[in-house]
Amino acid sequence: MSAPTPSTTSPARFTIGEVVRHRLLDFRGVIFDVDPEFSNSEEWYQAIPEHMRPAKEQPFYHLLAENAESSYVAYVSQQNLVLDDEAEEVDHPALDSMFEGFDGQRYKLKPGLKH
């Protein structure tokens, strides 16, 4: 029997409820799920311009995202996220279904909802 292969995936830097901002694109959002490594379709991955395409071997985050024009769900690599330091709430219609209360830094997951 062989030994397990060590994981090359880095640990998640962010947690559910944190408000983050994209490093390169102008949007921010609330994390509502975390994948330890890329878990989307190859078609989605290949649609990212090659010069911006992130490594798959890192955590990816599901965000309730917003920009100046709209709100939407985003899937973003860890390398492209930073904590948002504006201490402002995110304006997304799905927030109330998953979270309650904003303390200026993070949203609190509703009781009964678990990752």
Distance CA 93, CA 8 (A): 36
Q: Do the Cβ atoms of 26 and 68 come closer than 8 Å?
A: yes
pLDDT confidence of residue 80? 96
Sign of CA dihedral 93, 38, 77, 27: negative
Instruction: For the full predicted model, state whether its pTM sits above 0.85.
Output: yes
Chain segment 1-31, per-residue pLDDT in tens: 444 444 567 899 999 999 999 999 999 999 9
